[in-house]
């Protein structure tokens, strides 16, 4: 896969042509890197699913330029959507609304809704402006294999798809994604019965949304639409991961050390811990939600590379600014429940 500087205007124009021809282009956004395809081309969307190894009934987000005509994509744009768009676009907020009849259902995994987002990254903005004269939509999930950690740099995208023969024309390099975790997703498609439903927390919190709309979003119920990012297990490194409370960390470390385990460690300003035969890799992220989110996925990838038996993550703070981070860490840990107990057990 070719890596191309996102500052190269000719390359952006070329990437836009590739999308128009039905090929895939990976590109930076302020949240994470996306794997893009023409949202009006069902075959190109199918190629995204194939590349990611993702079930085809999972909907993808359509990225639009700030100039795009929303009514081409949405059957209904409720007033609350206008408020949210004015407040947060371009930016890390995805809104779910009823899909316009003309838009292929492949993009929504067959559902009658559509997820729309206007990204704030300059390279994404330039790509959207060059694609179909700024009126197209780029369908793009995060540019990672299904269930794995999202990429926050062009190098991560290459790591994810190296060796695969998938039709990815190129990855546009836009540096490290500033936000670092995926967009907040708010469902506006069932306003009458459910109000605002927060499908995925992110940098934009429920409180931010309430401040703009006057309504506090609720958590999803059983009838909420499918969100692959809301599967219990998601966003996970290959190494098992366990969240440990700060008050228990020293005890757990002592037990694992006495069992001669090999661990990797992600701390939250607990101070420096040296690497040794027991701790194969350490990352420390400051206890500021923005800073922590920015570094989270790159840190998980680095710790994963240490091939430890487990990645221990010191539980970060619990207040609302951390909701998105807590959500991703819980899902990353989901498949590993029990591994920590096994490693601590004698014998």
Instruction: Say whether residue 113 binds ligand TXA (CB under 6 A).
Output: yes
Secondary structure (3-state) at 267: strand
Q: How far is the CB of 86 from ligand TXA (least distance, A)?
A: 19
Separation CA 316–CA 326 (nearest Å): 8
Q: How far is the CB of 117 from ligand TXA (least distance, A)?
A: 6
Instruction: Say whether residue 108 binds ligand TXA (CB under 6 A).
Output: yes
Q: Which of 129, 146, 150, 149 is nearest to 138 (CA)?
A: 129
Measured from the CB atom, is 96 or 243 closer to ligand TXA?
Answer: 96
Q: Under a CB-based contact definition with an 8 Å cutoff, are residues 25 and 12 in contact?
A: no
Residue 335: Cβ within 10 Å count: 15
Dihedral angle at the C-alpha atoms of 278, 282, 287, 289, nearest 10 degrees? Answer: -130
Measured from the CB atom, is 157 or 285 closer to ligand TXA?
Answer: 157
Site string for ligand TXA, 117-146 (x = CB under 6 A): x-x--------------------xxx----
- Cα torsion 296, 216, 92, 87: sign: negative
Q: How far is the CB of 13 from ligand TXA (least distance, A)?
A: 21
What token pair was written down for 280?
């194969």
Measured from the CB atom, is 48 or 280 closer to ligand TXA?
Answer: 48
Q: What does 203 bind: ligand TXA, Mg ion, none (CB cut-off 5 to 8 Å by kind)?
A: none
Q: Which of residues 23-82 bind ligand TXA (CB under 6 A)?
A: 29, 31-32, 34, 58-61
Measured from the CB atom, is 142 or 153 closer to Mg ion?
Answer: 142
Q: What does 213 bind: ligand TXA, Mg ion, none (CB cut-off 5 to 8 Å by kind)?
A: none
Residue 10: Cβ within 10 Å count: 8
């Amino acid at each position: 896969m070719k890596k191309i500087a996102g500052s190269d205007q000719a390359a952006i124009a070329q990437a836009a042509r590739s999308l128009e021809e039905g090929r895939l282009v990976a590109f930076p956004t302020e949240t994470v890197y996306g794997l893009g395809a023409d949202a009006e081309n069902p075959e190109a969307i199918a190629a995204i699913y194939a590349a990611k190894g993702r079930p085809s009934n999972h909907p993808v987000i359509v990225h639009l330029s700030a100039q795009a005509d929303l009514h081409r994509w949405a059957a209904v744009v409720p007033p609350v959507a206008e408020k949210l768009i004015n407040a947060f676009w371009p930016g890390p907020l995805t809104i779910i609304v009823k899909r316009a009849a003309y838009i292929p259902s492949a993009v929504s995994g067959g559902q009658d809704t559509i997820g729309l987002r206007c990204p704030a990254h300059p390279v994404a903005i330039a790509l959207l402006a060059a694609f179909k004269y700024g009126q197209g939509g780029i369908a793009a999930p995060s540019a990672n294999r299904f269930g794995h950690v999202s990429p926050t740099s062009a190098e991560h995208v290459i790591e994810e798809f190296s060796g695969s023969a998938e039709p990815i024309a190129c990855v546009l390099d836009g540096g490290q994604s500033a936000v670092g975790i995926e967009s907040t997703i708010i469902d506006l498609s069932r306003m009458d019965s459910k109000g605002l439903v927060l499908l995925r927390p992110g940098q934009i919190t429920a409180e931010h949304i309430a401040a703009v709309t006057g309504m506090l979003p609720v958590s999803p119920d059983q009838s909420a639409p499918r969100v692959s990012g809301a599967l219990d297990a998601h966003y996970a490194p290959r190494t098992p991961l366990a969240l440990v409370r700060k008050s228990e960390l020293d005890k757990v470390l002592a037990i694992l050390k006495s069992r001669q385990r090999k661990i990797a460690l992600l701390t939250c300003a607990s101070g420096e811990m040296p690497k040794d035969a027991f701790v194969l890799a350490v990352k420390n992220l400051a206890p500021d939600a923005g800073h922590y989110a920015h570094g989270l996925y790159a840190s998980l990838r680095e710790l994963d590379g240490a091939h430890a038996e487990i990645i221990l993550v010191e539980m970060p703070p619990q207040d609302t600014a951390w909701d998105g981070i807590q959500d991703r860490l819980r899902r990353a840990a989901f498949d590993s429940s029990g591994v920590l107990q096994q490693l601590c057990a004698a014998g």
